[in-house]
Chains A and B, each alone.
Chain A
């Protein structure tokens, strides 16, 4: 398999993992909104409420930075990262 094909395979793997986490916190947990309601979440807010106003949003921010770092590592591994003067 060519270097490029391997790079793309790893990139796709990272995409799937990132989208899986994204799916859980944007869609998955809200299937159980009513069930999570009686649970007390961080800072004492009801858990469902906390996810909608802070939790999911904050997780997305961290997720994007995590994804960007992982993707950079993959690019470097196969020598596809940009040179500074590109």
Chain B
């Protein structure tokens, strides 16, 4: 089934898989009715889905370089779209995004616009041209276009800094979910998560990751949409929430007026457990300045177009034409989840704060709230907290605190959905975090094994040896990421946003100008990458250590400064040095048309 015309059979294979997964959910639901414990259901969901991914990873094993690095360049458009969507949507998108919208409203939604708008840049500026180039990795393009080992090496450095920042957060997320679902300590759960991740990618490289990511997308989208639709229907908010929640959004606005946003004193807030927040910002009203919104969206858009683990997915399509279409499909599959996150945030917030709903807790007595089952569960998981600051015995809006993750994880339980949904959500979060971690670890390991080891250190290495090096690196990088994740230094979202800023600081202009500006040369690219990354990182360190920053650029948008430095230095240095030789200029001409041979051979 896997060999031969596997590609032609894809719709059938994944159709059966989806049917099987839905049947599994129903079996679990029946199990719950027959008295299966919540813990057993959680274990079944995570173990079953991870086992399936591992089997796909094993069936996709390969000993060929082009299958290992670019899945043999035969992934059809729509399936590559699904794989990219899974690659893209991380544990943060799945678990933290609805929470961010819940707490920060409009200002946070700049991320939604940024994380989707970036794909327009990918489709128009880069993906089709890099596909035509025929590279295995992003540094492969930089190194061949500009020439020289230094450019290649710098691209690997930027890629590693950005992707590694990102991957620790993903391994952290798999660890969190594994520790809750399997009930083991976080320090061990991180390594359980890591082993699951490596099972998908180690034997099959990009091929294994591609087919597991498609499977993971199906799990995560079912796990996200099913609860949103179910909760909306159960609350009577509307059959199709995306089109029908206008009244609910307006009602939240009314309640905000009625309750007001009371500011808590620092002494009161000191009692609130770390990481929890109250509702302090308007839900749908504009609560950020235009520049705060636009700068964050812009940083995320340019970051999207510079992140190598996304770009390399478009190296796997059969043609340039397919690469372009595939970007559209990717964004469509991402859109399905991103447009649902604000709806989930709306439903979650309304069900908690509306006193006229049976689930509403604002306005009830503190003792009554503390006696609710789900409150006790999530309070003991350190994700919910109430405190009677003003001593009137009643819960006010400013006295209720929740963790960002709770919006996705706890809302099904609050709305009274069966536990099987919570198990499903855990499996979805695991799929989201695993698929992104796989893409990132593979991007780093491939760049080091292909660009540093094969292209710079030992250009005569045989394929078998190259693939051994690639796999060893995969494991080493995975363990390094897991070890840092186990130390728990950062929240999930902070480090994800930094990854975008690092990537855009060092790579955005060297990549774009490599295609769109023939005059860009090696010296310019070196200056652009080195100064861009250094200045972005310098700005971040400055702001983190109490620096005031300028132009409203914060630690979340420092890539705007880094990429501006990168652009200026690249243009100035390019113009000061000699123009690229005729062979390079001809290469750029060839990249610009879809027809003809790729620049780099099929096996290189």
Contacts and interface: CB of A to CB of B under 8 A. Distances in A.
B41 interface: no
Given A49-B249, A82-B319, A60 B290 contact: no
B509 interface: no
Interface string A39-71: 000011110110011101110110111011001
A26 B113 contact: yes
Contacts of A63: 120
Given A19-B124, A52-B106, A65-B328, A27 B243 contact: no
B357 interface: no
B10 interface: no
A7 B593 contact: yes
Interface residues of B, number: 55
Interface in B314-354: 319-321, 324-325, 327-328, 331-332, 335, 338-339, 341-343
Nearest to A32: B290
Contacts of A45: 245-246, 249, 284
B331 A64 contact: yes
B106 A56 contact: no
Interface stretch (B44-52, B293-301, B453-461, B575-583): B293-301
Nearest to B301: A26
Contacts of A58: 335, 339
B302 to A, nearest CB: 11
A43 B243 contact: yes
B285 A37 contact: yes
Given A11-B592, A52-B106, A52-B113, A61 B328 contact: yes
B72 interface: no
B324 to A, nearest CB: 4
Nearest to A12: B516
B462 interface: no
A11 to B, nearest CB: 7
B120 A54 contact: no
Contacts of A1: none
B593 A18 contact: no
A49 B116 contact: no
Contacts, number: 146
A1 to B, nearest CB: 14
A30 B113 contact: yes
A77 interface: no
A66 B130 CA distance: 20
B321 A56 contact: no
Contacts of A31: 290, 294
Contact of B249 (A46, A71, A79, A82): A46
B242 interface: yes
Given A8-B592, A31-B290, A60-B331, A22 B120 contact: yes
A27 B298 contact: yes
Contacts of B119: 60, 64
A81 B328 contact: no
Contacts of A80: 593-595
Main secondary structure of the interface of A (DSSP, over half): helix
A30 B595 contact: no
B286 interface: yes
A44 B121 CA distance: 31
B109 A53 contact: yes
B254 interface: no
Contact of B319 (A11, A43, A86): A86
Interface string B493-513: 000000000000000000000
A67 to B, nearest CB: 6
Given A61-B332, A82-B320, A68 B123 contact: yes
B324 A26 contact: no
Contacts of A48: 106, 286
B589 interface: yes
Given A33-B293, A43-B243, A61 B124 contact: no
Interface string B80-119: 0000000000000000000000000010011011101101
A86 B595 CA distance: 8
Contact of A67 (B124, B288, B298): B124
B290 A18 contact: no
A33 B246 CA distance: 18
A30 B293 contact: yes
Nearest to A34: B286
A50 B401 CA distance: 27
B464 interface: no
Contacts of A34: 286, 290
A82 B335 contact: no
A25 B113 CA distance: 9
B8 interface: no
Most B C-beta atoms less than 10 A away, residue of A19, A32, A49, A65:
A49
B113 A68 contact: no
Nearest to B320: A82
Interface in A1-35: 4, 7-8, 11, 15, 18-19, 22, 25-27, 30-34
A32 B249 CA distance: 21
B586 to A, nearest CB: 11
A68 B325 contact: yes
A53 B342 contact: yes
B42 to A, nearest CB: 31
A19 B123 CA distance: 11
Contacts of B331: 60-61, 64
B112 A61 contact: no
A4 B589 contact: yes
Contacts of A53: 109, 112, 339, 341-343
29 contacts: A4-B592, A19-B124, A26-B114, A26-B297, A26-B298, A26-B301, A33-B106, A33-B286, A43-B244, A45-B246, A48-B106, A48-B286, A52-B112, A53-B341, A57-B112, A57-B339, A58-B335, A60-B335, A61-B328, A63-B120, A67-B120, A68-B324, A68-B327, A72-B321, A75-B594, A82-B320, A82-B321, A86-B595, A86-B596
4 nearest A-B residue pairs (beta carbon): A44-B246, A53-B342, A26-B117, A52-B109
